[in-house]
């Protein structure tokens, strides 16, 4: 039985929410393994819309165990707010339905403040990254710097004050350098005390739970956030997120071995979008981009920010297929392209007069690459709501097949609308 890792193959916002929800119906456990509450999933279940940012998608489905792994940075305030929103929609979380890894690092108010201080300063100097200002990056810095407050620390009042002092030694020096007031020890201790009661009931040894589930033959769905091109190592650095978003992080970020992963599914939009700053070779800052953005409702689930839009970039997706070891892709939003007479696909780049088939790692080179396009015939019919290949226009099928050839991976699922049932299953990731 294959445990499945779902990752984004572009810059995020590929439509992972619907696909994860579609797969979670067959999974027994759903695991978040990286990121924080800076990325969101929109789920539509029985006509109800749920907007999640920190919690795994399994929380909206009865009988599923949802897990937040150690690779996540966890904002307890955002957690409480999200639980309250779900409770208002009839979803009650308990320690039986949700587990949080005991060694998960916390995002505190000082992380959010530092994130905002830096972005404001960068805006003035023209070096802005475009973060969501939710404290994700600073929290990961503290984790790597071995000074993070972890969930398990909330249950250890004897050592917690010493760990807060160590954290503040670093942060207050930064705040003084940026011209901001220091944070008091008492303020952080009060903040931690206030959230401990809400968080500690969910704390557990996640690695142990996952090992037991794996041995029992349970189906595990590992749910990524953001996309491969935002990976801290493999993305368009420095315009990236602060964690590894690739499939390999599913093992590291949850406490299982790589052998526990059976199928890697890359969520891939039929065109390309990104939010925030950074290179975007196929961006269409014109009527085409406006058309794609309007038709595709391209606004962030968490931030509401308008997404930049452009043609499908096969170079980038092909690179993501390799970095993740993708066994197949779920192609989403094909219906957005309905009615276009011509559709362009990027098949390579020109860099300083040379033709290349990869995205260079250098920031300066990424800014200079020029896309090489292939123009395909569009289709006049509609793909919206199609649930079988026979319902698709012939040119739409040709477009999908050509993408498979260009990226070197087959289409496992094809999504033709936001509705979960409007999905064509080609290859079952949870193959038995």
Q: What are phi and psi of 102, to 5 degrees?
A: -65, -25
Strands (E), 244-360: 263-269, 272-274, 308-310, 312-313, 328-332, 342-351, 354-356
Selecting among 41, 111, 171, 234, the annotated active-site residue is: 41
Task: Say if residues 266 and 8 touch (Cβ distance below 8 Å).
Answer: yes
Selecting among 13, 115, 153, 231, the annotated active-site residue is: 13
- Rounded to whole angstroms, the Cα distance separating 178 from 322 reads 41
CA neighbours within 13 Å on the CB side: how many for 8? 30
DSSP letter, residue 200? G
Q: Look at residues 74, 66, 250, 56 and name the one whose alpha carbon lies nearest to residue 152.
A: 74
Stretch (H or E) spanning 252: helix 249-252
Residue 204 is among the residues annotated as catalytic for this protein: no
Residue 13 is among the residues annotated as catalytic for this protein: yes
> Which residues have a Cβ under 8 Å from the Cβ of 11 and sit 6 or more positions away?
226, 227, 229, 230, 236, 272, 273, 274, 275, 280
- Rounded to whole angstroms, the Cα distance separating 204 from 233 reads 29
- Rounded to whole angstroms, the Cα distance separating 334 from 319 reads 21
Active-site positions read 13, 41
């Amino acid at each position: 039985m294959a445990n499945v890792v779902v990752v984004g193959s572009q810059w995020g916002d590929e439509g992972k929410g619907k696909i994860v929800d579609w797969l979670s119906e067959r999974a027994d456990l759903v695991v978040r393994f990286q990121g924080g509450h800076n990325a969101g999933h929109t789920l539509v279940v029985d006509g109800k819309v749920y907007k999640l940012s920190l919690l795994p998608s399994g929380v909206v489905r009865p009988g599923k165990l949802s897990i937040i792994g150690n690779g996540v940075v966890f904002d307890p305030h955002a957690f409480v707010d999200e639980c309250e929103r779900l409770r208002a929609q009839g979803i009650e979380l308990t320690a039986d339905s949700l587990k949080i890894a005991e060694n998960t690092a916390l995002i505190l108010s000082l992380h959010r403040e530092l994130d905002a201080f830096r972005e404001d300063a960068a805006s003035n100097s023209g070096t802005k990254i475009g973060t969501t200002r939710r404290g994700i990056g600073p929290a990961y810095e503290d984790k790597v710097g071995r000074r993070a407050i972890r969930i398990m620390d909330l249950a250890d009042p004897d050592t917690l004050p010493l760990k807060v002092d160590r954290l503040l030694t670093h942060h207050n020096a930064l705040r003084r350098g940026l011209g901001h007031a220091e944070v008091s020890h008492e303020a952080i201790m009060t903040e931690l005390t206030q959230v401990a009661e809400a968080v500690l009931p969910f704390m557990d040894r996640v690695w142990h739970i996952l090992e037991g589930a794996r041995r029992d033959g349970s189906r595990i769905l590992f749910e990524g956030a953001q996309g491969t091109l935002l990976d801290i190592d493999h993305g368009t650095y420095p315009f990236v997120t602060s964690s590894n978003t690739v499939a390999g992080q599913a093992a590291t970020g949850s406490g299982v071995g790589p052998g526990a992963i059976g199928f890697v599914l890359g969520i891939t939009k039929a065109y390309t979008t990104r939010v925030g700053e950074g290179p975007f070779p196929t961006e269409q800052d014109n009527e085409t981009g406006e058309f794609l953005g309007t038709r595709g409702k391209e606004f962030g689930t968490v931030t509401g920010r308008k997404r930049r839009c452009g043609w499908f970039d096969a170079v980038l997706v092909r690179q993501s297929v390799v970095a993740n070891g993708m066994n197949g892709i779920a192609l989403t939003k094909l219906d957005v392209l309905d009615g276009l007479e011509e559709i362009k696909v990027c098949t390579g780049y020109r860099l300083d007069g040379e033709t290349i088939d990869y995205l260079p790692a250098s920031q300066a080179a990424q800014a200079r690459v020029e896309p090489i396009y292939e123009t395909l015939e569009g289709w006049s019919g509609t793909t919206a709501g199609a649930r079988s290949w026979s319902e698709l226009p012939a040119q739409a099928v040709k477009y999908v097949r050509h993408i498979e050839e260009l990226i070197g991976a087959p289409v496992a699922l094809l999504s033709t609308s936001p509705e979960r049932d409007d999905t064509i299953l080609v290859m079952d990731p949870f193959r038995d």
